[in-house]
Structure 1
Amino acid sequence: MWLDAVDGYRHLTPESLKAAMPRCPRPVAWARALDDAIEFWGVTDIAMLLAQVGHESADLTRLVESLHYSAERLMAVWPSRFETYARASQFAGYPEKLANEVYGGRLGNIEPGDGWRFRGRGPLQLTGRYNYTAFATAIDDDAPIKTPQLVAEPIYGALSACWYFVTRVTPRASIEVATREINGGLIGLADRRRRYEQASRALEA
């Protein structure tokens, strides 16, 4: 662990996490990991963190990018890569092939298979060898590179989410600014705002 073991919680309990994310399937494990990661990275706006994590991961139930797309959806998401139905059909239903096609040669992915190996994982969908390496360097631990699957588990997942949050989100940012910094746009803004209010109440209880 990156912190000495402590009794109790500093910032977040299983109860407050469950109140903020009712569908969270492992509230004890995730609360312990998030509480430690919040302390480790010095996260100050915990309600904003929980709102963004809750939306991006569907209450910590969606922790690995599936890449299961229909041909029609591929053409909508990556129109420049899949200009025709015939081309999109070659990748529809083949998530590994798709990951290597759309992520290969970018995001720091330089080795064959890196697109799939370093696909999105964790509460805030860490993606690409570059981001996995930056995270590993930040915690001085190469486990996320050697075993990327760990980023979808509580300890490394919580650490990666808090690291991403503190390195991307402006302190005391509004919900609109924080959403742009996490998402690149304002997708799901209403849900993120609702979650922020819900998390704020949960942390005050």
Structure 2
Amino acid sequence: MTDRVLMPPRTTAHWLAILTACGVDAATAQLWAQVFADTLKPDSFSRGDDDLEDFLPNALHESTMLTQLEENLNYTPDALLATFGAHRITPEQAQAVGRVPGKHAADQRAIANIVYGGEWGRKNLGNILPDDGWRYRGRGIPGITGADNYRRVGDLVGQNLEGIPDLLAQPRFALEAGIEWWEDRIPDSMLGETTALRKRVNGGTLGLAEVQRLTRLVRPVLETNHG
């Protein structure tokens, strides 16, 4: 087993500077700086700052700069079909539950139960009950989705995330779970391969340009902010 590479210690002040430099707004950065300082330990990642350089840009993008810890399913019908495909939601279903300006708002609960439910949800996410798609919608950083993933990550962090899924919408639990998910799912050989990492985190290349931009910001600011 490869020895873990330790990260240098970082205080709340260091994290405030890091998050602010990455574009997180001041109030949000102030809240999360304490969470990062309390949660991240020198051995949190197997490859230390090499992991952090890739983890942080993805975490910032997936959480809309740490302002959103629950998936936003406010899709139009066209966006639903483009995002999830007709094999997971039919055009008729998309029209019925998607946001149609001037007619009706998106039925986000119904959307979640369609796109994360059915045979696809059962096979890929372990969602077996009618409301599991909504109950185990994306939460945390990066978004954990599906009963099986809530159960696995919960076991890794020692929390009953399957039984209390809303824990992942709380900053400390979201960050703890995100680190454990990353360590469980991201091999060291993938570090630095931004495109491959986006596919592993998001299932495609959505947000790739933004993550690349954030990565260019993160690397130098980590080097200048540590104990």
User: How would you bin the TM-score normalised by the shorter chain?
Assistant: 0.7 to 0.9
Going from structure 1 to structure 2, the CA distance change for 1:129 and 1:16 (only over 3 Å counts) comes to same
Structure 1 residue ranges without an equivalent (≥5)? 1-6
**2:169 partner letter:** A
Q: Partner of 1:100 in structure 2?
A: 113
Structure 2 residue ranges without an equivalent (≥5)? 1-8, 99-105
The number of residues matched between the two structures is 197
- Partner SS, residue 221 of structure 2: helix
Q: Partner of 2:24 in structure 1?
A: 22
Q: 1:190 aligned to 2:209? A: yes
Give CA deviations for 1:43-95 in whole Å, capped at 9, x if unaligned.
522121111111212211222112111122222222223443x3322222111
Q: Partner of 2:199 in structure 1?
A: 180
Q: Partner of 2:56 in structure 1?
A: 50
**1:182 partner letter:** V
Q: Partner of 1:79 in structure 2?
A: 86
TM-score by length of 2: 0.77
Give CA deviations for 1:88-130 in whole Å, capped at 9, x if unaligned.
2222211101111111242011223111011001121111111
- Partner SS, residue 27 of structure 1: helix
Going from structure 1 to structure 2, the CA distance change for 1:31 and 1:10 (only over 3 Å counts) comes to closer
- Partner SS, residue 145 of structure 1: coil
Residues 24 and 60, structure 1, Cα contact 8 Å, conserved in 2: no
CA RMSD of aligned residues (A): 2.4
Identity of aligned residues (%): 29
Q: 1:128 aligned to 2:146? A: yes
- 30-39 or 153-162, larger mean C-alpha shift: 30-39
Q: 1:168 aligned to 2:171? A: no
- Partner SS, residue 177 of structure 1: helix
Looking at structure 2, the residues matched to 25 and 150 of structure 1 have their Cα atoms a distance apart, in angstroms, of 22
Looking at structure 2, the residues matched to 202 and 70 of structure 1 have their Cα atoms a distance apart, in angstroms, of 38
Q: 1:63 aligned to 2:61? A: no
- Partner SS, residue 135 of structure 1: helix
Q: Partner of 2:36 in structure 1?
A: 34
1:202 to 221, 224, 227: 221
- 86-95 or 125-134, larger mean C-alpha shift: 86-95
- Partner SS, residue 90 of structure 1: helix
Looking at structure 2, the residues matched to 24 and 145 of structure 1 have their Cα atoms a distance apart, in angstroms, of 33
1:144-163 paired onto structure 2 within 5 Å: 144-163=161-180
